[in-house]
Amino acid sequence: MLAWHWRLAGYGPPLPRDSSGTGRGLSYRDAGVDLDASEVLHGLASRLLAGRREAYTSSIELHGRELVLHVDGVGTKTLVLERLGRLRVAGWDCVVMNTNDVACDAARPVALVDYIAMPRADEHVFREILEGVREAAEATGALLLGGETAILPGLAQGVDVVCTVLALREPGWRGNRVRPGDVLVGLESNGLHANGYSLARRIALERLGGYNVVVDGLDLAEELAKPVRDYTGFLLEAWSRGLLTAAAHITGGAFTKMRRILPQGAAAVMEMPEPPRVFQVLVEAGGVEPSEAYRVWNMGVGLVVATPRDSLDELLSLAKRHGHRAHVLGRVEQAGAAEPRIILDTVYGRITY
């Protein structure tokens, strides 16, 4: 239950690597993201946090209203988008990653500010990003109150795109209250969203010959430039109609992040759909351990929500009405261990976190 979260960083212990047909298997650490080190920082930071903590965000009460302040960035996905001339997606993503997070904790976005760091002032790049921010602000109902654009020669090698969202907790929200027996429903993602790009980039550049390649009919550039799917409206309506007991946005840390929403002694047991082709290609080409893949990438499922069994039909039809493809993945079970566990049955076999 931590509001401090880590771009590109998982939470579990490092996994052993094996070799694959395409050379030594790549891990997130190989791609420059050291999970152990990130975990230490995580612990340091969380001790300093104030406010009421929920699964994704913290809030303060101000004159009877609960306000959430939340920050997230697009990370190294911008390096791919810049190369492909698609930085508008970075503007969109930086907003929607935040609004998805706050909506998981039943908070409605009301305002935002952005932060863009660039090595030099580039009008075209800036215009593209801003257009994406504008679109996403409109889609999610947040007002753009300002921003900072930092020209950072010698510090930024590429474009860094970050956003902070102010959100208002829905009145009467009873909080995360998932229980054994609740059904777990997954909503499809739109590609990698904005996580795990350090590893994806390394695989693309070192094993696949770059971003602009077609692998078995899959246009890799198109896949890597897909925008984050916006779950905000669906989540807020589902909370307000009392259909949810918890929601987990699958971002940095991927399915290990579901630990945040589970009570002690519970396990999330899910049968995962076959991952979309892009994930299969990355796993194969990178020789990535499946258990590494499912804690770095969303593997086709961008959001997991928990619902009481008798709300399932209504939830599924609500998802459909919001344009999302939803799948019943499994349920929350009572487990022996004290720490929450995540058990995934995948095409690669069973994975347990």
Residue 119 to residue 223: CA distance in whole angstroms: 26
State which of positions 179-238 bind its own copies (CB under 8 A): 198, 201
Residue number with CB closer to its own copies (9 or 351)? 9
Q: Does 145 bind its own copies (CB under 8 A)?
A: yes
Please check whether residue 238 is in contact with residue 316, taking contact to mean a CB–CB distance below 8 angstroms.
Answer: no
Residue 257 DSSP class: G
Query: Which of these ranges, 161-169, 183-191, 285-293, 314-322, lies near its own copies under the rule CB under 8 A?
Result: 161-169
**Binding of its own copies at residue 175 (CB under 8 A)?**
no
In single-letter form, the type of residue at position 252 comes to: G
Closest listed residue to residue 297, CA positions, set 350, 352, 267, 257: 257
CB contact at 8 A, 295 and 8: no
Question: Closest by alpha carbon to 240, among 164, 296, 318?
Answer: 318
Query: Judged by CB under 8 A, which stretch of 142-150, 270-278, 297-305, 326-334 contacts its own copies?
Result: 142-150
| Of 202, 190, 175, 282, nearest in space to 230 by CA | 190
Give the footprint of its own copies on residues 240-299 (CB under 8 A).
none
Report if residue 348 touches its own copies, rule: CB under 8 A.
no
Q: Which of 66, 160, 182, 223 binds its own copies (CB under 8 A)?
A: 160
Site for its own copies in 36-75 (CB under 8 A): 37-38, 40-41, 44-45, 48-51, 57-60, 62-63, 65, 67-73, 75
Q: Is 34 in the site for its own copies (CB under 8 A)?
A: yes
- Is residue 112 near its own copies by the rule CB under 8 A? yes
SS3 86: coil
Nearer to its own copies, 88 or 327 (CB): 88
Q: Closer CB to its own copies, residue 188 or residue 206? A: 206
> Residue 122, CB half-sphere, CA atoms under 13 Å: how many?
17
